Amino acid sequence: HYQAKVDANSTQIKGAEALIRWREEDGNMISPGIFIPVAEQTGLIIKIGQWVIEEACRQAKEFSNNGQHIQLAINISARQFQYRHFLKQLEAAIEYSGVDPRNIELEITESLIMENAEQSISIMKQLKKMGFALAIDDFGTGYSSLSYLKRFPIDTLKVDQAFVRNLETDVADQSIVRAIVDLGKHLGLKIVAEGVETEGQWHFLKDLGCDYIQGLSLIHISEP
């Protein structure tokens, strides 16, 4: 599945995030919150993650061939990121699909990066050298040191939906999101807000200067 990343000002689709979903035979969906942790624990996330990378690269190339300028984001799990053949998997997917790596953005969670910051920075630098865009996912939930943040070779900060959910009523969430957007802007980064479901949330984020928004109900957002 592909969730649109929408320009907060123009509401045009500028990107998408590849999301893996599992539908049972009876049609019911199994939450990723259930099967992804199991896949991580058993090591199956390596094969699943490889398939996701390959499929996302194929789709990104198809977007490009159709003249659609869409950058496709792929979530990278902790087990994948630490896998010794991770970079080779990416190289193979790029070569097989023929996609421009600049059309792929790899999303890495803040908590994952901080497990071993120095090693993470080294891997991220290699990914940037390969041409990929990089994003820190769920920013604000991983307690990272700001001294490290300035060293991360990233392009995008993603505001976690936990701070967006009550954005219209919670003053504390408003202050946190305002601070994240301001921080990102001063560091020259793009800002994406996740979990945007109402026009009130959208207008608040747009007024702050947030670059992109993601959410299930964005199809209904339009200028009054």
Tell me the whole-structure pTM to 2 decimals: 0.91
- The pLDDT tens digits of the residues spanning 196-222 come to 999 999 999 999 999 999 986 554 444
Residue whose structure tokens are 């990066």: 113
Question: What are residue 15's DSSP bridge partners?
Answer: 5, 71
Query: Which of 38, 151, 52, 126 lies closest to 136 in space, CA to CA?
Result: 151
Tens-binned pLDDT, residue by residue, of the chain (224 aa): 899 999 999 989 999 999 998 888 888 888 888 999 999 899 899 999 999 999 999 999 999 999 998 999 999 998 899 899 999 999 999 999 999 999 999 999 888 888 888 899 999 999 999 999 999 998 877 665 677 888 899 999 999 999 999 999 999 999 999 999 999 999 999 999 999 999 999 999 999 999 999 986 554 444 43
Give every CB contact of residue 112 below 8 A, 6+ residues apart in sequence.
76, 77, 78, 81, 120, 142
- The pLDDT tens digits of the residues spanning 29-62 come to 888 889 999 998 998 999 999 999 999 999 999 9
pLDDT attached to residue 224: 37
